[in-house]
Amino acid sequence: MAFAIDRVEAARRLSVSTRTVDRHIQGGRIRTKRIGKKMFLHEDDVETLRLQEPSREADDYVVIRDHEEKQADDIELIHKKREVLQHTSNMPDFAKLYQESQGVIAKKDEIIQDLSYRLGKSETELKNSIPLTEYNKATFLLESTKVKWTEDKDSLSGKVDSLEKEIVKRNSAILGLAILFVLVLAFSVVFFLYTKLVTVG
């Protein structure tokens, strides 16, 4: 057998939480392989651990590391875009919109974390008593929330990009006006000096 099961199935076979499965992976007791966006575990390693009857931890809960790492990258990207907005003067509306967007993302993050905790706790405490349909509903709800969070994040990122382009356009216009002003001023000085020379002569 090869890499054919995921973390949830491995946890079910071992009668432990997915966090305990993560510890086995980090400890090198279970080999893994990433196929596409999903990580699969070596079935032989899981079967070996099942025969050894590993200890369980009653208070374990689900840790979705791939999502957390992606979320950290997204937050870092948003912080960088915020720095660009902060360096642009006379744009209070843009800054306010960015802060509101960040607040929405933070709230959605809290909802996802809460759902992850609830799902993991239910999986640990009621492994064999929850009907499969209920478990699937909870999993579907969590996945739907992740998808919605991603869509909202992409939408907000698009708005931030649009604001940055607008800022660049306004700065270009201001620079053009400044150059035009300097040219007019220089022309006026030259004309004044020329007029004065003609009058003196």
- If you average pLDDT over residues 171-178, what whole number do you get? 89
pLDDT at 59: 37
User: What pLDDT shows up at residue 90?
Assistant: 47
Instruction: Tell me the residue ranges of DSSP E strands in the chain.
Output: 3-5, 32-35, 38-42
Q: What is the predicted pLDDT for the residue at 29?
A: 93
pLDDT digits (tens, 9 = 90+) for 9-68: 999 999 999 999 999 999 999 999 998 889 999 999 999 999 985 444 433 434 444 455
Q: What percent of the chain has pLDDT over 70?
A: 74
- CB-based contact 116:62 (threshold 8 Å): yes
Is residue 141 over pLDDT 90? Answer: no
SS3 62: coil
C-alpha–C-alpha distance, residues 47 and 30, integer Å: 10
C-beta neighbour count of 86 within 10 angstroms = 12
**Per-residue pLDDT reduced to its tens digit, 59-115:** 343 444 445 545 555 665 665 566 645 555 444 566 677 778 788 888 878 888 888
Domain ranges of the chain: 3-52, 65-200
187: its two tokens: 């022309």
Handedness of CA 12, 17, 23, 26 (dihedral sign): positive
> Would you say residue 196 has pLDDT above 90?
no
Spacing of C-alpha 193 from chain mean position: 62
User: Helix or strand or coil: residue 76?
Assistant: helix
Instruction: Report yes or no: 159 and 101 within 8 Å, Cβ to Cβ.
Output: yes
Give the Cα separation of 97 and 104 in Å (integer): 11
pLDDT for 30 equals 94
Neighbours of 49 (CB within 10 A): 19
